[in-house]
Amino acid sequence: MTGILILNGPNLNLLGTRQPEVYGTTTLAMVEEACRAHGEAIGLSVSCLQTNHEGGMVDAIHAARGVQAGLIINAGAYTHTSIALMDAVASVELPAVEVHLSNIHAREPFRHVSYLARVALGQICGFGPQGYIMALDALKGHLEGA
């Protein structure tokens, strides 16, 4: 099966209890389980990783090279600050979809900027946990050349 890494960054381990008015009440474990199940249904083997550390995210992206066929990344606040993450995605040459639970473009101006967007296939934001499922479908289509 084709492997996909879903990488979540800082503070996303607190999903479910973190600012539920913004991020909802679904926990990260629930999101990851739904992604594994959906992946299985469409022929993708989903691995999930969450870290609060920028360097850990860079390491995970490097480790995906030659192992995974694509990446789904919610880099949390590092989206808006991290040139290192952008460079890591560009360096491993894996298709990556950027996901955000909230609509970052409807929020504070500093959230409108995404370094990752420069190297991602595309960005999905504002659809809550469903965004990860949409990203899996998008990667599936991309990998099939659709």
Q: Would you name the residues annotated as active-site residues?
A: 23, 100
Does residue 7 bind ligand DQA (CB under 6 A)?
A: no
Round to the nearest angstrom and report the end-to-end CA distance of the chain: 18
Residue number closest to ligand DQA, CB atom: 76
Out of 101, 119, 133, 135, name the contact with ligand DQA by CB under 6 A.
Answer: 101
Rg, Å, the chain Cα set:
14
By CB under 6 A, residue 11 contacts ligand DQA: yes
| Piece in contact with ligand DQA (CB under 6 A), picked from 43-51, 54-62, 81-89, 100-108 | 100-108
Q: Shortest approach of ligand DQA to residue 63 CB, angstroms?
A: 22
Q: Which two tokens stand for residue 118?
A: 């420069």
Question: At residue 108, what are phi and psi to the nearest 5 degrees?
Answer: -60, 150
Which residues are at the interface with ligand DQA (CB under 6 A)?
Answer: 11, 74, 76-77, 79, 100-102, 104, 111
